[in-house]
Structure 1
Amino acid sequence: MGNNLNQQSGRDLSKLPKAHLHLHFTGSLRPQSLTDLAQAKQIRLPANLLDHHPLRLPADRRGWFRFQRAYDAARALVRDEETMRRIVKEAAEDDAAEGSKRLEIQVDPTSYAPFVGGITPALEIILDEAKQASARTGVEVAVIVAASRMQHPLNARTLARLARQYAGDQPGEVVGFGLSNDERNGNALDWEPAFRLARQAGLAALPHGGELRGPNGVKDVMKHLGPIRLGHGIRATEDPRLLEELVARDVAFEVCPASNVSLGVFSDAKQVPLRQLYDSDALISLNADDPLLFRSRLVDQYETARELGFSDEELAEIARRSIKSSLASDTSKRQWLAEVDQWLLTSPKDA
């Protein structure tokens, strides 16, 4: 998908102000940057990182293993401060080009700690570059520290203590604490102590839930981790009573259509229950998740929604909900919401 399509069909979606709330650090790498890094380090990449096609995997353990293997191959190239800064810098630049006003990028610093002197330097490098990238691009770049379900829960407590030291709502600060990787691994209860530590410091609880597991997985996360946003959460739609409860509690959904299709949760974008979520008045945002692997960035998600029948007015409303779901200051939110209204006032041929 591209700008030719969105300009012919309506207002330019790359100019629609929006917030990007679900983007993984290594998964945000530009494909060309990945190739450049591999050539510089003389590392041979697996074919599925070079063929320019999105991953298409079954929604089972075998499919997740293949996804994780591809992600790990990319992560193996991130072994110095320069590369870490490059990832943040380019993510901010790409978001700026797509109308994003706020990027909340998530990272597990333990993956990069061995190469830069520990988890504290790893996080500080990312935070410092996020602050600099915010100043250069005008996109507010904040950070979510995310533990992994594939690591021992004690590791999550270490990360929560680290995240607490850098808590804030400004660019270059830690705004939340997450839990990523295969949500079928372990129970949310295992990570409850880490999330309690994070919440005590004012950090938002932002775990993954409701993509690979259905409504029971969402209930598990809600019971033990106290999230204000769900990473995905899409399968809460399978339980109308649960969905109604989440909407009533203003729990936001970080919807990632390309991820849902690539990971085999839905066979195509038409099956993603975005309309159901929208009509329920849920706080939703559209997000790219891992564009390196899914070959689909932020504006592509809005173009997918347009192809599913969402009007420009409805796309603007999704953008508003994404901004309201962000952890930005009220002042920033008011400004961006006014800019969304302005986008709608511009005629499609001029937008």
Structure 2
Amino acid sequence: MEQVLAPSRPVTEPAQRDLRLLPKAHLHLHFTGSMRPATLMELADKHGVRLPEALSSGEPPKLRATDERGWFRFQRLYDSARSVLRDEEDIRRLVHEAAEDERADGSGWLEIQVDPTSYAPRLGGLIPALELVLDAVDEASRMSGVGIRVLVAANRMKHPLDARTLARLAVRYADQGVVGFGLSNDERRGLARDFDRAFRIATDAGLLAAPHGGELAGPSSIRSCLDDLGAGRVGHGVRAAESPALLRRLAEDQVTCEVCPASNVALGVYEHPQDVPLRRLFDAGVPMALGADDPLLFGSRLAEQYELAREHHGFTDEELAELARQSIRGSLAPEPVQGRLLAGVDAWLEAPAG
């Protein structure tokens, strides 16, 4: 007698909450790198700028920056993208679109990094360039409802005297939207300790020190950020996972690491998304603020970093909510804003999944 089998039931995945609705803060986003690809193309056409094929193909460029040649290529593409930002209208458009993208990803607070020296030649100098950015930020914040502040970032490939000039500029505008001072570019070039006087200028005036460390260079670069620059947050910091002692220190001192998983993979720091040691940092108690770094070049924005933690590292909704809380607590948002966002995280978690 032929056996009749019952129809198999489709295996359904457990319902998951929408990570774009999860309130969060974004603490690692670079100014030019926040640009939409379509905006890049339109501004290039507006100004007659010929972009490299890697930027005009409509797809994120293939990058790998673990050697000097790869980093040079990445920097060349970044400089090409920055060259389309030539007037006030361009700057305001970028900031307004960044705010809209943050709101769409559930970000209620953004701290965007900008090196005004990159735009000063076309915008009338350092002061006019920073004042334009700050005015655009204030306007975009009011229109979008996303709180936005600025970190002025020095370039470690330039002379430390240039960094001191920027630190004084940042201090001058500390009550007009500047909340911190950073140090970007290749950590393997330009030792952090060479910039200690610039950071002392900034921190003595109450600005947050948030230099890059622990991405292209290892744990020693993070230690230098802490010991030599007085870092209150570390840009990236992901390679702290290679040092148990450093993990303990970051956890004990509650120093937030601005971890950018998609860019870590795109730049070849880790081969695959599952190789990024998010779980190790999280389990060690190191506060993290997931960041998109440069969405223009890496192809993913803020909410997708949380998706990566869910998909490749098995973070539960409860753990993802805790990551969002850590980003908010690690921010410089005023207490009422932090309270509102934290309450929103609790509400997201209490809502039914699916």
**TM-score, structure 2 as length reference:** 0.94
1:232 aligns with 2:236: yes
SS at match of 1:176: strand
* TM-aligned CA deviation for residue 106 of structure 1: 0.3
Partner of 2:68: 61
Q: Retained in 2: the 8 A contact 1:56–1:261?
A: no
Distance (Å, rounded) in 1 between the aligned partners of 2:108 and 2:56: 30
Distance (Å, rounded) in 1 between the aligned partners of 2:40 and 2:121: 20
Work out the percentage of aligned pairs sharing the same amino acid.
58
Distance (Å, rounded) in 1 between the aligned partners of 2:62 and 2:171: 35
Q: Once superposed, which parts of structure 1, at least 4 consecutive aligned residues long, lie more than 2 Å away?
A: 53-56
Provide Cα deviations, 1:310-337, integer angstroms capped at 9, x if missing partner.
1111100100000000011111111110
SS at match of 1:195: helix
Partner of 1:155: 162
Partner of 2:345: 340
1:36 aligns with 2:36: no
Q: Which structure has the greater CA radius of gyration? A: 2
Partner of 1:4: none
Residue 340 of structure 1 aligns to which amino acid in structure 2? V
Distance (Å, rounded) in 2 between the aligned partners of 1:53 and 1:245: 36
1:299/1:167 CA distance change after superposition, 3 Å: same
Residue 235 of structure 2 aligns to which amino acid in structure 1? G
SS at match of 1:141: strand
Q: Which moved more, 1:49-58 or 1:260-269?
A: 49-58
Q: Retained in 1: the 8 A contact 2:29–2:291?
A: yes
Query: Equivalences for 1:1-351 in 2 at 5 Å?
Result: 10-51=16-57, 52-168=59-175, 173-307=177-311, 308-349=313-354
Distance (Å, rounded) in 1 between the aligned partners of 2:162 and 2:62: 29
Residue 121 of structure 1 aligns to which amino acid in structure 2? P
Provide Cα deviations, 1:122-169, integer angstroms capped at 9, x if missing partner.
00111111111111111001000000011111000000000001114x
RMSD over aligned Cα atoms? 1.2
Residue 197 of structure 2 aligns to which amino acid in structure 1? P
Distance (Å, rounded) in 2 between the aligned partners of 1:192 and 1:49: 36
SS at match of 1:183: coil
Q: Retained in 2: the 8 A contact 1:54–1:262?
A: no
Distance (Å, rounded) in 2 between the aligned partners of 1:54 and 1:291: 11
Residue 295 of structure 1 aligns to which amino acid in structure 2? G
Residue 122 of structure 1 aligns to which amino acid in structure 2? A
Provide Cα deviations, 1:218-265, integer angstroms capped at 9, x if missing partner.
112211101111000000110001110111111110000011001110
